[in-house]
Structures are given as structure tokens and as C-alpha cells.
Structure 1
Amino acid sequence: MATEDGVTGSAWTEAEVEATVAVYFQMLRMQELGQKPNKAEHNRRLQQLLPARNAASIEYKHRNISAVLILYGAQPLTGYKPLPNFQRLLVEVVGRALERDRALDEAAIRRVETPAEPPLLETFEGFVVEVPTPTVTVNDSRLEWVKRTPIKRDYLERESRNRSLGLAGELLVMEYEARRLHDLGAKQYADRIDHVSKTKGDGLGFDILSFDGDGRERFIEVKTTAYVAETPFFISPNEVKFSSEQPDKFHLYRLFAFRDKPQMFTLPGAVAANCLLDPVSYRATLLGNSVG
């Protein structure tokens, strides 16, 4: 089994980590510019620079970098599933790379703000997948390492504000729900699906009113990202509260890889029971009895 020190068993040096992060970021810049990096070729070059590390060790380190980037609020490189058992040194090196890589910063911002359209899917076969394995746990010290580092990126928050991406995800879910109910032999309920975030506004705590095959209401909140399944998402206090009030009917639909090959997993029940909720910010309103 691999450890945070890599499959060779010896601790990674700062020079080795920096070289690996540099190659990863080169591929990430290409991804954000709409290109497809040749991961195998990049890794072969990296092996020549790091003779003490084999291909498997480098693969694990790339996956560690993906996990760190997600905790920083940045997008990872597609194809390297996040692996959380990383060194504190890696957090520091990735943070420095994020701070100085202006080309990546500009490309990432353009990508997350690019308008999106609902994809045309001939079939929903393979669309719904299992919930990914969590990359961190409650009270995980790795979260604290990132929180104590001043470098942060708001790419994922910017993406969450991309209204065209959110709407495209909701429209795809509307189509999926209609087909799901048709397949269940419940066409009468498919005709009653309501895109409530459009017909009634954003304040209800969910986006789509759908149904189970027996007519039971299903309250669906849709969260969409162009990135990997493990990517964190932003959710409002109202949505969290509503999910706790209606845990038997509430379903969060998480769409990912939306611009390439969209897939989805679902989290039924209260959001707080399924996710680690991090209060990233507070809205502050001056009080009338404040003291100057």
C-alpha cells in the first residue's frame, strides 16, 4: 500500500515535490486552455528528472496534488482522482505554485465564467454513478493545513455563480427526471415536473419538483460543475435548512464533468448528514446599538 511518502517508502524531498508540481501545473494550464495534455509523456519526462521515483509513485503524487487543489478551491487535473494522504510540504508547494502562476489564474477564470449549454444526450445510460469516496474526514488535520495557508483561489466559487452553467445543469436534470418517470411507467407524474427555481423563484430551497414512481414528491437541488466528482460545491443556508426539514423528500443531484461527459451522483436526505459544511463567509449587517 502506498503511503504519503510514495510507493518507494522514502520521504519526498522539496526538490522532488516542486518538480512534480511544476509538471502537473503545466498540464493543468493546458487543460484550462482547452487542450489535452499527454499525461503519459509528461510523466515519462518527470521520471527522468526523478530517478528515485517510479511511475506508480509519481501517479500517486499527482493524485495527492489533485486533493490539495480541491481543498484550495481550485480545479484539479482531470484523470487524476484525488488521493488525500498528502504531506504538509505538498500543501505549501502547491500554494506557492497557485500564487505565482498567473497564466493558470487567467485561463481558469475564463473557463469557469464561460457560458454553458445543456448537452444533447441520446441516452442516460451510465449517467448516474456511485457517490465518490470522500477525500477528507471530520477534524482532518489536512484541512487545517490549507486553512492556515494565505493562498486561496475562488475558481469554484466563481463557477458556482455562472448562471448559465447552473441553468444548463437544471435543464439536463429536468430531462433526466422525465425519462426516469417514463421508464417507471409513471408518465402522469413526468408531466407534472416543475422547474420551481424558474417558475416560483430561488427562495424555496430546491430547484426542481419531481416525483417518485408512486407519486411521492421529490425536492431536487441541482449543483453543477465542469470538474471532477469530488469537487466541493457551494450551498446556501436556506437550502441546508430546507433539506433538514424535508429529509425524506430532499435529493441533491451533483452533476460533474459537465462540459465534457456529464455524469451525476445523488445525495438523498439532509445535506448536513452527507457533507462537511464549511462556513466560508458571513454576511455582516451593522447593528443599531453598535458602539463607536
Structure 2
Amino acid sequence: MATGEDWSRIEVEACVADYLQMLALQLNGQNFNKTQRILALMERLDGRSKASVEYKFRNISAVMLELGWPTVNGYKALENYQLLLLEVVEAQLQTNLPLQAAVENAVQRPAVTAEPHSLAQAWVAIPKPTAVKEAPPEYAPRFSPARRDYLAQEARNRSLGKAGELFVLELEAQRLHGAGKKILADRIEHVSATQGDGLGYDVLSFEEDGRERLIEVKTTAFGELTPFFVSRNELARSERDAAQYQLYRLFDFRDKPRVFSLPGAIAGHCQLDAVSYLARLAG
């Protein structure tokens, strides 16, 4: 019976294959029972416990995010994965054409505007990610053919972005109406639509005392810890107007929209990684 972290390649391949199948089912809207799947998978492993399999799934989530893919709901990423796991995930992703099609459809699909049923149902606390551990030197940089820009594609889905902003407009109207501030609620403005998207925020709302609340909306159909993209302009605005600025992160938007707020400077809440550069010819 195997112990500790000495997972064989066969075991790792079995775990990755099961995880990717769950992800495909999830993206296609098909139900599955996680516990039953794990119990069936354990019969093919070398005496692994349910907890150890779940831990491995969380490691796979970390690899998936590193490669720009969505993850299976409920398996929060754990960063301390082994090189073997990264290699197996990369290999299976490259040949899994049904999963590639499912992800592409998910990130490009138009979104239907949703309305919050109540403030209590929509708002959640800021999620607590697991501690990010630095990868060993051999992990970075890694030029992988399995790397995709799926999360960036979703961020460019204008239909999803607009639906998220409209959701926040209704959410803010509910909040102010509930506080008896109808006049302020009537002054809420969808500034990214009325004035353009260069202001560094999307929605102008108000505190109950009349002070402005500048809201940047980031929407995903995936889980609460899915990375998101911010512009240099948004970062600068959040720093200059930190007392008024809030980033609203909407997640699980197509299923059960929920939201948490990151008030103040974005850099105070997030680890920021440069992923692209604007290049000009040097004279």
C-alpha cells in the first residue's frame, strides 16, 4: 500500500482523467455525484483515502488555473503540487478534445441578464484562498502547449460582462431602496455604458449618506477563486479613490450568482501578475 506523497504515474493519470471528466460534465450542465466518483476511483488506486484523493483534486485545480483553465467546483486550489502532476495534466489536456470544446463553449456563450432575488442570497464574505507557495525554479517559466487563454476569453465576453454589470445595478438599487434612499437609488448610473469604459469603474452608486461609491464589476461563470483581469487604469483608479472604490466580484453567474466586494485599492487584496505588455517599436 502506498503512503505519503509517493503517487505513481498510473495513480496520477487516473485522478487527472476523473477530474477532467467531472469538469466536462460540469461545463455541459450534467449532474454527477462527487462522493460516488471518488469511491469508484479509490478502488483503482493503491490504498488511497478519500481525503488524499480530494487533496490531489485540489492540486489539480491549482495546475488548471496555472494553465488558464477553469476548475471543478468545490476543489479549492492547493499550490504545492509535484512536477509529475503538472506533466500528466498537460498531456491529458492536449488530447481531450471534448473538454476543449466544452470550455470554449462555456467562455464564449452569451449570458442572460439575471436579477438578484434578495441581498441576503447574493452577498457572501470574501473567500479565503489557500496560501500561495512559490513554485520550484523548474516550474517557471514553463512553455506549455496545454496553456490556454480561456479565462481571458471569458473576461472578453462582453455579453457576460454586461449582464454582470446590470446585475450589480439592480443589487445597488435594492440596497439603497431597502435603506429608504430612493432618491439616491434613482441616481445610480451605468457609467461604462453612458460615458465609456475609460473611467476605471463601471457603476456609479452611493453610500447611504450620499457619498459616491465607484464600482468595478468582474463577472465569471466559474468559482469564487477564479483569477480575474484588471487594467492599469482600474488599478490606478482604485488607488487614487480608495475610499470610494469597490471591486464587486460576481461568480457562478450562470448558475447561482453571488458576489463579494473588495473595497479600496485592488493591490491590497490581490496578488498581481503581469501577463501581457503593450509593445511599441523602439527608436
1:38 Cα deviation after fit: 2.7
The 5 A counterparts of 1:61-100 are: 61-100=56-95
Q: How many angstroms apart in 2 are the aligned matches of 1:130 and 1:233? A: 18
1:251 aligns with 2:243: no
Name the CA shift for 1:142/1:116 in 2 (closer, same or farther; >3 Å).
Answer: farther
CA distance in 1 between counterparts of 2:279 and 2:102 reads: 32
Per-residue Cα deviation, 1:151-199 (whole angstroms, up to 9, x for no partner): 3111111100110100000000000101111222222211111100000
Query: Gaps (5+ residues) in structure 1?
Result: 1-5
Q: CA RMSD of the aligned region, Å?
A: 1.9
Q: Percent of counterpart pairs with the same letter? A: 50
Aligned: 1:39 with 2:28? no
Q: 1:21 aligns with which of 16, 21, 25?
A: 16
Mapped contact 1:88–1:142 kept (Cα < 8 A): no
Deviations 1:96-138 (A, max 9, x none): 222221211111101110000122332232311111112453x
Question: TM-score by structure 2 length?
Answer: 0.93
1:282 alignment partner in structure 2 = 277
Q: Does 1:145 align with 2:139?
A: yes
1:144 to partner: Cα distance? 7.3
Q: Secondary structure at the match of 1:203?
A: coil
Tell me if 1:231 matches 2:232.
no
Tell me, in whole angstroms, the C-alpha distance in 2 between the residues paired with 1:11 and 1:194: 56
Could you tell me which residue of structure 2 aligns to residue 206 of structure 1? 201
In 1, Cα distance between the equivalents of 2:75 and 2:136? 19
Which residue of 2 is the match for residue 175 of structure 1? 170
Equivalent position SS for 2:127:
coil
CA deviation vs aligned residue, 1:202-244 (integer Å, no higher than 9, x gap): 1000000011111111100000000000000011111111111
Q: Which runs of 5+ in 2 are unaligned?
A: none
- Equivalent residue for 1:264? 259
Question: 1:207 and 1:154 mapped to 2: Cα distance?
Answer: 24
1:134, 1:55 → 2: CA distance? 22
Q: Distance in 1 between matches of 2:138 and 2:113?
A: 37
Deviations along 1:69-102, one digit per CA (max 9) or x if unpaired, are 1222110012323233322322222122222212
Q: Partners of 1:201 and 1:60 in 2: how far apart?
A: 44
Equivalent in the alignment of 1:109: 104
Query: 8 Å contact 2:25–2:31 — kept in the other structure?
Result: yes
Report the CA distance shift for 1:147/1:75 in structure 2 as closer, same or farther (over 3 A): farther
| SS of structure 1 residue aligned to 2:43 | helix
Q: Distance in 2 between matches of 1:108 and 1:87?
A: 25
- Indicate conservation of the 8 Å contact 1:92/1:149, yes or no: no
